[in-house]
Structure 1
């Protein structure tokens, strides 16, 4: 029972006790008063009637005596009058039945008034003439007692209702600070640090509120310090100090992650020998300033073309990772890059289209890091050797389909549910227990099985992400995959779904109608959180309110504050695969440890991804992560039930 109800019940009981006591006192006092009043009236009537009857009794006038008694008796205040003539023993009696109007019979049957009689002897001198006996009628007493009690009950009822309302309003107002403390405590337990609570006037609660505000502020500072530590470690280990761009270490990690995902794009490597010319002419300070300005312009111009990662990997070498683009967009990106370089060269007093070389290789099919690096470096060396501005690595591997063919095949597959599923278990660190199963899909076109890495880039390019996600979720439900295991199934949402209001509405409707929504998890890419935080927050609210779960995929990949964890409050985060080869001896170990501490500090489950062997997993044991996944437990086909 809540404190409010306990106090409310106590006040309710005390009020009833007071009302009952007052009612009892009122009842007994009224009863005694009416009894005494009837006794007094009976005495007065008996005395006066006895005196008035003396002449008639002396004269033996029976009719006169009867007339006199009738006058008094007809008033209805007496139940019975008996007159006994002592001369001859004759007895006369007058009676009124006990029939009281306006008083319920059950109240009369309670017999609150005992029979009141008055017996007297009428004398004349020393001669006894008659004996008079009068019995009071209880009607007056019952009528007055009933009227008094009904009025009292009505008054008490009104007062009771007023007291209930006043007590409720008063307690609500008095206990409001306590309710705020409880809500604030829940938010702190969920690692949500809002504004300080107002200081209440109640002395007992004032110290509690001050303590809570202090604790909340300290916890907030701890989280902010961890967030700042992550930022400083990123700046120290992953950022080139001169250009402000990511360094080689970050680029290699992103390459690993990018190639493990179903993406398209290209890798570009550029060597700017003209920067050496700037160095020799103006010194290292001007060179460094030129590098900084060049980096800013490249980011400004290239980000307008497509999403990419620009890194300074050596003194005069830069790498450009185009994470999602088809051939035409990549070509436009390359042209913009060359134009930007020439503009900055002209500003630095160098001749355009000289002393720099660019090599480019597209990602086609399944590729490893060494494959794409070798192709890009080969293209760069060829450009240098042939003294060309750029060289595009030519591959003998052809695309499976044209863009329009992909559109036709994907639209048909979504409409006709032509996808096959695999799932990969996420194992808890403390044993063989499975935390969740991540779902992957494959596409069958003719006699070919096409992996997600081949068709997902075109899903994004053709803006079919929301339709695909809707199709997969519906198929998941139709095939009753949620009923096969108690472990939740994790679904990777596409970027298109994150910002599509219609998909949000559909997902809300689907989860509301599902009886197993708690067995569905949604993986949201960290890139999407940074690119459209408002849409992601709206989507996460829908997922949470319907009992499903969500997590952040590729956690730690992006540069930026971790404060979104407080806003979104995910159930888990999946570390980016660039941290899979965590090693205590490397500088990145500090960053990895700090990222894990930020998540654990908010009571968020941390899942390590990209684990391929046991020794690799054992390195994460001291960091107290929650679970892991990777080819140490590879994906398996989801066969028919």
Structure 2
């Protein structure tokens, strides 16, 4: 029972006791008063009647005596009058049946009033003429007692209702700080820290609210400190201090990630020798200032053309990794980059189209990081030899289908549910038991199984992600895959689904209809959470309302704050594969540990990805993560 109900019940009981006591005292006093009133009335009646009857009894006028008695019956509540002549013993009795109107019979049956009788001797001098006996009727007492109690109960009931209503409002106001404290405590338990509670006027409650505000503020500060620590470590380890751009280490990890995932794009290596001229003229401070201005412009303008990672990998060398771009987009990106560089060269007082060179390469099939970097470096060296601004090594990669052909074939395969599923077990770090399985989708196109690495880039380019996610979920449900995995199945959602206004209502209906919604683990990429947090937050509410869970994939890949973890509160996160890459180079162990501390502090499970062997697993085991995933546990057919 809540404190409000306990206090309300106590006050309700006390008030009811007081009211019952008042009703009881009013009842007994009214009954006693009416008894006295009826007794007094009976005494007066028998005295006056005796005096009126005396002369008529002396004269023997019985008719007049009877008339007088009838008058008495009509003017009062009397049940019986008995007149007995002493001379001859003659006795005459008058009875009057009285019906009590307006009083319920059950009330009369309580016998609250005893029968009252009075007897009087009528004399003439010393001579005794007759005896007169009058028996009263309690009708008056019942009628008045019923009226008084009715009025009393009505008034007290009205006062009771008003008092309870007033008490409820007042208690709500008094106890509102306690409700706020309880809500704040629940939020703190969920690692959510809102605004401070307004201090109440009540002294005792003010101390409680002050204490909870202080505790919330301190915990918020702790988690903010952890988040700042992760942010500082990222900036220290992965960001170039002059330009504010990612450094070589970050770029290398992201190239490795990108090549391990489906994608289209390319890499541009740039060498800006004109920056050395600036250094010679104005010193390193002037050079650094120009690098900052150039970096800001590149970060602002280039991502508008295509999603990319811009990094400074040496004093005068930059790299541009285009992660979602076709050939024509890379060309447009390159032209914009050349224009931007020439503008900054001109502002710096140098000659445009001189003293800088660009080498461009495009992703081909199953490339390794070293292959892509070597290809771009070869293009850059060729541009230097040819004394050109840029050189592009033409891959002349044969295209299996044109874009429009891909659209037709993908739409047909998705619409007809031509899915083939595989999954990879994700194991617990302690006991190595399967804690969930991540499902991977392949499509049957022209009677051939096409892997996600081949068709997913075109899914993104053609904006078919939402359609793919819907049909994929339907196929999983239809094939009863969820029944095979009690541990839960992790399903990655595409960026398109987050942008599609119809996807969330559809997903809510799907989760309502499916048999095992609690076994579905929806994963959102970190980049989508950062760029479209409000949509991800609403999607998370839909997912949790149905009993499903939510996770963040590629966590830690993006530079910047991890504050979104506290706001979104996912069930688990999967650390980006770059952390496994960093482990190979024995770098950024502090960053990985700090990120785990942030997640653990928020009661979020952490899964390490990209684990290839037992040695690597043993390294991450020291960090006390919850689970791991990678080639160490091979992919299996469903």
- TM-score normalised per structure 2: 0.94
1:79/1:390 CA distance change after superposition, 3 Å: same
Q: Give the Cα separation in 2 of the matches to 1:19 and 1:300.
A: 76
* 1:165 counterpart residue number: 165
Corresponding position: 1:389 with 2:410: no
Moved more, 601-610 or 266-275: 266-275
Contact 1:581 1:616 in 2 (8 A): no
1:69/1:583 CA distance change after superposition, 3 Å: same
* 2:560 counterpart residue number: 560
Q: Give the Cα separation in 2 of the matches to 1:574 and 1:11.
A: 54
Q: Give the Cα separation in 2 of the matches to 1:245 and 1:62.
A: 131
Moved more, 387-396 or 201-210: 387-396
1:571-582 matched pairs, under 5 angstroms: 571-582=571-582
Q: CA deviation at 1:624?
A: 2.7
SS at match of 1:501: coil
* 2:200 counterpart residue number: 200
Q: CA deviation at 1:531?
A: 2.2
Contact 2:253 2:581 in 1 (8 A): no
Moved more, 423-432 or 254-263: 423-432
Corresponding position: 1:492 with 2:495: no
* 1:331 counterpart residue number: 331
Moved more, 448-457 or 627-636: 627-636
* 1:17 counterpart residue number: 17
Corresponding position: 1:50 with 2:57: no
Contact 1:279 1:286 in 2 (8 A): yes
SS at match of 2:75: coil
Contact 1:12 1:164 in 2 (8 A): yes
SS at match of 1:84: strand
Q: CA deviation at 1:200?
A: 0.2
Contact 2:234 2:560 in 1 (8 A): no
* 1:467 counterpart residue number: 467
Q: CA deviation at 1:607?
A: 1.6
Contact 2:253 2:582 in 1 (8 A): no
Post-superposition Cα deviations, 1:414-441, rounded to whole Å, max 9, x if no partner, equal 2111122222222222324433322211
Q: Give the Cα separation in 1 of the matches to 2:321 and 2:279.
A: 27
Contact 2:271 2:357 in 1 (8 A): yes
Contact 1:76 1:96 in 2 (8 A): no
1:112-151 matched pairs, under 5 angstroms: 112-151=112-151
* 1:79 counterpart residue number: 79
- TM-score normalised per structure 1: 0.94
Q: CA deviation at 1:103?
A: 1.2
Contact 1:414 1:471 in 2 (8 A): yes
1:269-308 matched pairs, under 5 angstroms: 269-280=269-280, 283-308=283-308
1:297/1:144 CA distance change after superposition, 3 Å: closer
Q: Give the Cα separation in 1 of the matches to 2:356 and 2:148.
A: 109
Q: Give the Cα separation in 2 of the matches to 1:434 and 1:586.
A: 28
Moved more, 25-34 or 297-306: 297-306
* 1:111 counterpart residue number: 111
* 1:411 counterpart residue number: 411
Give the number of aligned pairs.
638
Contact 1:275 1:287 in 2 (8 A): yes
SS at match of 1:436: strand
Contact 2:77 2:98 in 1 (8 A): no
Contact 1:499 1:536 in 2 (8 A): no
1:229-244 matched pairs, under 5 angstroms: 229-244=229-244
Root mean square deviation, CA, Å: 2.3
Q: CA deviation at 1:18?
A: 1.2
1:37/1:360 CA distance change after superposition, 3 Å: same
Contact 2:410 2:445 in 1 (8 A): no
Moved more, 149-158 or 543-552: 543-552
Contact 1:364 1:399 in 2 (8 A): no
1:464-543 matched pairs, under 5 angstroms: 464-514=464-514, 516-543=516-543
Q: CA deviation at 1:84?
A: 1.6
* 1:101 counterpart residue number: 101
Q: Give the Cα separation in 1 of the matches to 2:85 and 2:283.
A: 150
* 2:398 counterpart residue number: 398
Q: Give the Cα separation in 2 of the matches to 1:20 and 1:277.
A: 100
Unpaired runs of at least 5, structure 2: none
SS at match of 1:74: helix
Corresponding position: 1:601 with 2:597: no
1:618/1:289 CA distance change after superposition, 3 Å: same
Contact 2:489 2:520 in 1 (8 A): yes
* 2:62 counterpart residue number: 62
Contact 1:98 1:138 in 2 (8 A): no
